Amino acid sequence: MSESKDFLRTIVEEDLQSGKYHEIITRFPPEPNGFPHIGHAKSICINFGIARDYKGHCNLRMDDTNPTTEDMKYVEALKDAVTWLGFEWANHVRFASDYFPKIYDYAVQLVKMGKAYVDSLNEEEIREYRGTIKEAGRRSKFAQRSIEENLDLLERMRKGEFKDGEHVLRAKIDMSAANMKMRDPLLYRIRHAHHFRTGDEWCIYPMYDFAHCLSDYIEGVTHSICTLEFENNREIYDWVLDELELKLPRPYQYEFARLGINYTVMSKRKLLELVNGSYVNGWDDPRLPTIAGYKRRGYTPESILNFCDQIGIAKANSMVDVAQLEFCIRDDLNQKVPRVMCVLDPLKVTIENYDGVEEIDASYYPHDVPKEGSRKLPFSREIYIERDDFMENPPAGYYRLTPEQSVRLKHTYILTCKEIIKDSHGNIVELKAEYHPNSKSGEDTSGIKTKSAIHWVSAKHAKKVEVRLYERLYSSDAPDGLEDLNPDSLHVITNAFVEPAVITEKPDVRFQFERQGYFYADPVDYTDAKPVFNKIVGLKDSWAKKVEATESAPKPETKKLPIVEGEVAPMSEAEQALFEKYTMVLGLNNEIANILARDTQLSAFYEEALSYIHSPISLANSVANEVARELKSASALNFGAKEIAELVTMIDEGTISTKIAKQVFEEMAKSGDHPKAIVEAKGLTQISDPAKLKPMIEEIIAKNSESVAKYKAGNTNLFGFFVGQVLKKSGGKANPTVVNELVAEKLKNG
């Protein structure tokens, strides 16, 4: 999975090589007191990912040692998150509470060794006696109790003879230890509370520092991976296992940096506050950073895994820009989902010179997505367009419909406005328009120039749907609490109109609504009678909306610059100039242009690469993605702009596919070899020759006769499946465009 090796994998490999362990066993140990969030996803990816990479296994263990806050519903949510991310835990789900009897036995053993004692100071005294960082602590007088007395008291604690807080069991270590955690840490406390699994069987509960290391040991865990805040706990971890002289192999603890993301909170306490206070609609509210929230919103597991992979594993805590996560989901959906049309804020247009209905055959996917499929798009006399795609008095630079300016209706004719109908308040309620019969997309002989294409739906055929738009839950990039909540984080549109195929054909559950963003059929509230869609994420140029805001209230002299979602600081003048050049002159999309313009190292690299070949878009994609990632994770680059230009040339010329290019890039980054040499040495040249591809296609078609029958019976969605199988068969080397054509031909002609 992860190509580059992180410090944890380095340790694991050394331990395998030296023979310290024969099998790698990790665990993911959440406390079942809240729903898992994106931070947990990172931990899941690390623990399960390492186990998988080294053919070991990973346990899912509930760290349920705190009876008052835990609940089975959280256990279910944790299981669901792990499964959804595509991982499997070894055997059954484990519970620290299953080990209570064993952990107790170990406590007795420590007492017998004179390494633990029952203390009867109260909580406040214990704190006071502990001392400070500058001052050593004092040991309680109860530490002198005899082993017999301690055994007796511990036994009676267990039997329930004492009240909460009357006694505790402590390790006898060192009250002047520099590490405060080593100053006779608590091992057990009395808690007369009902536990969600052990019921009333126990009234003493082991502390984290005692339960965790022993649970790891009992399960045979080798690498106990946790977040940095547990660094000081490592000494106790080792102390317990060493003092008990447990037989080898024993686990060791390693720490990595917690994930933090801006514009959100990740502490379970704060999330619980949002849920319990009804500031959001439950744990799966799409605005929350919980896995359940992302899942409901429409994020894919792939996008989250990709994100975790991109941010890597580090030793220093850092804050990741939420824009990076959004980039990952967009990147994933861009390659997968059908494009359809939905009007969110409808304005009726009557096309006075049109009668009847026609069905336009419109592809679901743009040319650069290697998927096939199309739907019939009804066109008729009355259509809806987006209210802000028309302006009566447009500012300069407005490219859509105006009384003087015609516009293309996506997939079909050019439209010209003839008359504006207003209500008594002066609001526009309808447009009368004309279409140009000879201007249809693909067969346009009208000679009319338009500056943009807008989306639309046929009023009579469109389906009314509810659309839920989400903004950031917090308006501050580092929110503190409820006061930072964004009051406008949810907009519900109840009368949006979507083209009928979305509801009747259901080509997918996720869609790109053209020009609006990516949307997901809500898995809970959606019904055919009342379809509901969640906005997953905006399009690359989501800043456009903000620019539109300036368009509708134009201030002639002040030129508003695009604001890119997720970016906090405005661009410097030099960065703005680059951004303009990249978008206007070189034709990059806003997101890529933004990434490059804001980073001097990346833009310099990009400019240099451009001096070798003029392929601005392909180069930009490579620099903003692969090169940027490599710069982030590696200390020095093993390649220069010239090598990237060479790689991109091979893609542009069709020598290799973009997929293979990724593989070549990894190899380049690792070995420093030239891309051409890598392609030659590994035989990665793209296969475009039909004579070589046809046998593979024959084989796939022959092997999947059932699917072929279904396809022929009308399930055209299967087309992508056949293409995918052929690509897979070729080891990713087949040219997708050629395969597409050949498969289509084969299925048609048999």
Instruction: Name the residue nearer to Mg ion (CB basis): 31 or 149.
Output: 31
Give helix 600-612 / helix 641-652 axis angle, nearest 10°. Answer: 60
Is the Cβ–Cβ distance between 521 and 544 less than 8 Å? no
Instruction: Kindly state whether residue 479 participates in binding ligand ATP, applying the rule CB under 6 A.
Output: no
Residues in contact with Mg ion, total (CB under 5 A)? Answer: 1
Instruction: Kindly state whether residue 310 participates in binding ligand ATP, applying the rule CB under 6 A.
Output: no
Chosen residue from 15, 21, 40, 400 binding ligand ATP by CB under 6 A? 40
30 binds, among ligand ATP, Mg ion, none (CB under 5 to 8 A by kind): ligand ATP
Per CB under 6 A, which region of 262-270, 435-443, 500-508, 587-595 contacts ligand ATP?
262-270
Instruction: Name the residue nearer to ligand ATP (CB basis): 31 or 548.
Output: 31
Instruction: Name the residue nearer to ligand ATP (CB basis): 31 or 302.
Output: 31
Is the Cβ–Cβ distance between 623 and 644 less than 8 Å? yes
Catalytic residue among 79, 115, 138, 258: 258
CA distances from 250 to 27, 404, 627 (A): 14, 78, 40
Instruction: Kindly state whether residue 293 participates in binding ligand ATP, applying the rule CB under 6 A.
Output: no
Instruction: Name the residue nearer to Mg ion (CB basis): 31 or 434.
Output: 31
Instruction: Name the residue nearer to ligand ATP (CB basis): 308 or 377.
Output: 308
Instruction: Name the residue nearer to ligand ATP (CB basis): 208 or 413.
Output: 208
Q: Active site includes 463? A: no
Chosen residue from 121, 143, 266, 428 binding ligand ATP by CB under 6 A? 266
Residues in contact with ligand ATP, total (CB under 6 A)? Answer: 15
Instruction: Kindly state whether residue 598 participates in binding ligand ATP, applying the rule CB under 6 A.
Output: no
Would you mind telling me the total number of residues written for the chain in this entry? 750
Catalytic residue among 27, 61, 268, 375: 268
For 538-627, where are the alpha helices, taking DSSP H only? Answer: 543-552, 573-580, 590-597, 600-612, 616-622
Helix, strand or coil, per DSSP, at residue 215: helix
Q: What is the DSSP string of 224-285?
A: EEEEGGGGGGHHHHHHHHHHTTPPSS--EEEEEPPEEETTS---HHHHHHHHHTTSSSSTT-
Residue 336 CB-density burial (10 A; 0-12 exposed, 13-18 middle, 19+ buried): middle
CA distances from 483 to 157, 266, 271, 274 (A): 44, 16, 14, 12
Instruction: Name the residue nearer to Mg ion (CB basis): 31 or 666.
Output: 31
Closest CB 72 distance from ligand ATP, rounded Å: 15
**Which two three-digit tokens encode residue 283?**
């744990």
Instruction: Kindly state whether residue 227 participates in binding Mg ion, applying the rule CB under 5 A.
Output: no
Closest CB 265 distance from ligand ATP, rounded Å: 9
Alpha carbons within 13 A on the beta-carbon side of 2: 29
Instruction: Name the residue nearer to Mg ion (CB basis): 58 or 697.
Output: 58
CA distances from 79 to 38, 76, 92, 165 (A): 15, 5, 11, 34
Chosen residue from 130, 138, 191, 258 binding ligand ATP by CB under 6 A? 258
Give helix 301-311 / helix 322-334 axis angle, nearest 10°. Answer: 130
Chosen residue from 94, 181, 189, 268 binding ligand ATP by CB under 6 A? 268
What does the angle CA 484 – CA 307 – CA 605 come to, to the nearest 5 degrees?
105
Closest CB 260 distance from ligand ATP, rounded Å: 6
Is the Cβ–Cβ distance between 740 and 701 less than 8 Å? no
Q: What is the DSSP string of 166-201?
A: S-EEEE---TT-SSGGGSS-EEEEE----BTTTBTS
Instruction: Kindly state whether residue 29 participates in binding ligand ATP, applying the rule CB under 6 A.
Output: yes
**Residue 378 amino acid letter:** P
167 binds, among Mg ion, ligand ATP, none (CB under 5 to 8 A by kind): none
Q: What is the DSSP string of 134-175?
A: SS-----GGGG--HHHHHHHHHHHHHT-S-TTS-EEEE---T
Q: Within 86-145, which residues bind ligand ATP (CB under 6 A)? A: none
What does the angle CA 421 – CA 425 – CA 429 come to, to the nearest 5 degrees?
30
Closest CB 9 distance from ligand ATP, rounded Å: 17
Per CB under 6 A, which region of 24-32, 165-173, 456-464, 583-591 contacts ligand ATP?
24-32
Instruction: Kindly state whether residue 223 participates in binding ligand ATP, applying the rule CB under 6 A.
Output: no
Q: Within 45-74, which residues bind ligand ATP (CB under 6 A)? A: 63
Per CB under 5 A, which region of 27-35, 196-204, 311-319, 676-684 contacts Mg ion?
27-35
Q: Within 654-713, which residues bind ligand ATP (CB under 6 A)? A: none
Which residue's C-beta sits nearest to Mg ion?
A: 31
Chosen residue from 6, 12, 24, 30 binding ligand ATP by CB under 6 A? 30
Q: Active site includes 692? A: no
Instruction: Name the residue nearer to ligand ATP (CB basis): 230 or 518.
Output: 230
150 binds, among Mg ion, ligand ATP, none (CB under 5 to 8 A by kind): none
| Residues in contact with ligand ATP, shown as a per-residue x/- string from 179 to 218 under the rule CB under 6 A | ----------------------------------------
Instruction: Name the residue nearer to ligand ATP (CB basis): 29 or 479.
Output: 29
Instruction: Kindly state whether residue 535 participates in binding ligand ATP, applying the rule CB under 6 A.
Output: no
d(CA 440, CA 719): 27
Closest CB 213 distance from ligand ATP, rounded Å: 14
Chosen residue from 31, 231, 477, 666 binding Mg ion by CB under 5 A? 31
29 binds, among ligand ATP, Mg ion, none (CB under 5 to 8 A by kind): ligand ATP
Own/partner pairs, 157-166, CB within 8 angstroms, 24+ separation: 157/118, 157/188, 157/190, 157/203, 157/204, 158/104, 158/202, 158/203, 158/204, 160/192, 160/203, 162/190, 163/190, 163/192, 164/189, 164/190, 164/191, 164/192, 165/122, 165/123, 165/189, 165/190, 166/120, 166/190
Per CB under 5 A, which region of 23-31, 160-168, 523-531, 558-566 contacts Mg ion?
23-31
Q: Active site includes 258? A: yes
Instruction: Kindly state whether residue 510 participates in binding ligand ATP, applying the rule CB under 6 A.
Output: no
Strand order across the 414-422 sheet? 453-454, 407-409, 414-422, 428-435, 346-351, 382-386, 456-458
Instruction: Kindly state whether residue 362 participates in binding ligand ATP, applying the rule CB under 6 A.
Output: no
Neighbours of 474 (CB within 10 A): 21
H-helix or E-strand containing 428? strand 428-435
Q: What is the DSSP string of 448-460?
A: ---S-EE-EEETT
227 binds, among Mg ion, ligand ATP, none (CB under 5 to 8 A by kind): ligand ATP
Nearest to residue 94, comparing CAs of 78, 112, 118? 78
Which residue's C-beta sits nearest to ligand ATP?
A: 39
Catalytic residue among 13, 31, 505, 608: 31
Q: Which residues, at least 6 apart from 738, have a Cβ–Cβ distance to it below 8 Å? A: 688, 690, 693
696 binds, among Mg ion, ligand ATP, none (CB under 5 to 8 A by kind): none
**Which two three-digit tokens encode residue 521?**
């059929």
43 binds, among ligand ATP, Mg ion, none (CB under 5 to 8 A by kind): ligand ATP
Closest CB 27 distance from ligand ATP, rounded Å: 9
Is the Cβ–Cβ distance between 476 and 450 less than 8 Å? no
Residue 437 CB-density burial (10 A; 0-12 exposed, 13-18 middle, 19+ buried): exposed
Closest CB 39 distance from ligand ATP, rounded Å: 2
Closest CB 697 distance from Mg ion, rounded Å: 53
Chosen residue from 118, 190, 259, 340 binding ligand ATP by CB under 6 A? 259
Residues binding Mg ion (CB under 5 A): 31
Which residues carry out catalysis?
A: 31, 258, 268
Residues binding ligand ATP (CB under 6 A): 29-31, 39-40, 42-43, 63, 226-227, 258-259, 266-268
